[in-house]
Structure 1
Amino acid sequence: MILFFGTRSGKQVSKPMNGVSCPHCSQTGTLTAHVQPNYFHLFWIPLFKIGTSRYAECSHCKRVYYKEEFSDEMERALSI
């Protein structure tokens, strides 16, 4: 019997971070947060979520901030 299993990314969700300024260029309202879950799947059917990738991108300076680099202001905007 052959089993096909592995991991695959889920649907990415983007959310504008209004009122949050970019730590690099100091522009306000240019950050967009992207959240993408990762799933374990068996026979291409997602069974359970194994993690989530989160990052924010500034549309002005194109700087990308990963979850470890989020400021307190960015964390508060995502939790709302």
Structure 2
Amino acid sequence: MILFLGTKSGKEETKLLAGISCPYCKQTNTLSAITSPTYFHLFWISLFKVSTNHFVECSHCKRAYYKNEFTPEMRQALGID
């Protein structure tokens, strides 16, 4: 019997971070937070969430910030501890 198992990305969610300025270019209201979950699947059926990746991107300068680079304001807006 053959088992098809592994991981796959879930649906990305995008949220505009209003009132927060980009630490690099200092533009306000240009940051978007992207959350991308990863699921374990068996026969292409998602069973449970393995991890969640967060990053923030500035639409003005195209700079990306990963979770370890988030400012306190970004963490507060996303509800991350």
AA partner of residue 37 (structure 1): P
Report the residue type matching 2:68 in the other structure. Answer: E
Partner of 1:26: 26
Name structure 1 gaps, 5 residues minimum: none
Give me the TM-score of the superposition, normalised by structure 2. 0.95
Structure 2 partner of 1:66: 66
Could you tell me the TM-score, scaled by structure 1's length? 0.97
Structure 1 position 79, deviation (Å)? 1.4
Equivalent residue, structure 1, for 2:36: 36
Detail structure 1 runs of 4+ shifted over 2 Å in the superposition.
none
Any idea what SS the aligned residue of 2:74 has? helix
Alpha-carbon separation, structure 2, partners of 1:7 and 1:35: 16
Q: Counterpart of 2:2?
A: 2
- For 2:33 and 2:7, the matched residues in 1 are separated by 23
Verify: 1:76 aligned to 2:76, yes or no: yes
Structure 2: state its 5+ residue gaps. Answer: none
Amino acid at match of 2:53: S
Count of equivalent residues: 80
